[in-house]
A and B are shown apart, each in its own frame.
Chain A
Amino acid sequence: MSQSYGNYYLPEPSHWPIVGSLGLFCTLLGAINWLHDQVLGPYLFGVGLLIIFIMMYGWFRVVVKENLAGLYSRHVDHSFRWGMVWFIFSEVCFFGAFFGALYYLRTYGVTWLDGTYPDSSAHLTHLMLWPDFKGLWPLINNPDNSQFMPPKDVMDTWGIPALNTLILLTSGATLTWAHWGLQKNSRWQLVVGLFLTVALGATFLGFQAYEYGSAYAHHGLTLNSGIYGTTFFMLTGFHGLHVTIGTIMLIVMLIRSIKGHFSTHNHFAFEATAWYWHFVDVVWLILFIFVYWL
């Protein structure tokens, strides 16, 4: 039986950690087999992911129940907050690496190959390897177009990307409105604000799926069309994954808000989700500026 001893909280024995380990094991084993074209690979991968999702649902359910039962002290609350901070730190590193890759290839990689980097040895690289290559970003001409079919043109800035930026910014505003509703103890404002945020998040994902279809069908921008295509899909794709995760988190917050789980003074789960959504929003804004504008 779970008990709270002063500052410390002693949870009851749980099977969820070992279930999570089993899920991770199946996922990775499946991925390895998939890469080696083994028939079982994708199925094992899928089963592994399913086990992880079941584990997350079950374990979070336990945590919510423990919270509602009043088992969490201020000390436990503090540890949850720092857990979120370290998670965010890993997320910043994750996206930092991708933005770093974009900066590196635009500032160094491409300029080494097209000979515009201010260094004589780089100019020699250009002359010896691809003397005809002109590195105008976004690259619609690759150093060797026979190996990687370049895109026909660059992705539009106006249209879906700008619309999606507006949608995400609006979702940030509706979420902030919901957040103020929680602060004022207005449940209808909290619920309506969260509902609108979830709807806007889902709309963003729908538009992004449409944009990907358009990239492949009309612009010839694919994962095989050179460094522009790979960075485009890597950055926007992983961002889309985060919007998906954020939307799921917001749906859970919406359900919990309807059930009345949050109070003005006890709503860390909402705060963490709200911060995460704002983070995802900022990543998109930076992405919109650096991928489409600068």
Chain B
Amino acid sequence: MKIVILIIVLLILASLGSALFYLARSNGSHNLVKSLTVRIALSIGLFILLIAAFYFGLITPHGL
């Protein structure tokens, strides 16, 4: 479970990094908002996953 969480965190960081790449470009406006949309979708997904994993007993807070 810990690995899945870490992979999603890395994907979130990648989408945020991609958004920064488009922020640095004058013509990257549309791609910037798309990257940020992916970022927030992944983050909400991770939060739901944490709650589901807790509900099914796969993870507990301060469990490690």
Q: Please list the residues of chain A having a beta carbon within 8 angstroms of any beta carbon in chain B.
A: 74, 77-78, 81-82, 84-85, 88, 137-138, 154, 157-158, 165-166, 169, 172-173, 176, 179-180, 183, 265, 267, 271-272, 274-275, 278-279, 281-282, 285-286, 289, 292-294
Contact = CB atoms under 8 A, between A and B. Distances in A.
7 contacts: A85-B23, A137-B62, A157-B62, A165-B47, A271-B29, A275-B19, A279-B16
A292 B54 CA distance: 13
B20 A85 contact: yes
B23 to A, nearest CB: 5
Interface of B: 2, 5, 9, 12-13, 16, 19-20, 23-26, 29-30, 32-33, 36-37, 39-40, 43-44, 46-47, 50, 59, 61-64
Given A85-B20, A176-B33, A285 B43 contact: yes
B47 A293 contact: no
A293 B23 contact: no
Contacts of B44: 169, 173
Given A176-B40, A292-B62, A293-B50, 5 more contacts: A169-B40, A169-B44, A172-B43, A278-B36, A293-B61
A274 B29 contact: no
A267 B32 CA distance: 12
A22 B32 CA distance: 37
Contacts of A282: 12-13, 16, 39, 43
Contact of A183 (B24, B29, B62): B29
A285 B12 contact: yes
B32 A271 contact: yes
B33 A81 contact: no
A166 B36 CA distance: 17
Contacts of B59: 293
Contacts of A172: 39-40, 43
Contact of A88 (B9, B20, B43): B20
A285 B46 contact: yes
B14 to A, nearest CB: 11
Contacts of A166: 47
The 6 A-B residue pairs whose C-beta atoms are closest, nearest first, are A157-B61, A172-B40, A179-B33, A81-B24, A85-B24, A176-B40
Given A137-B62, A275-B32, A293-B59, A169 B47 contact: yes
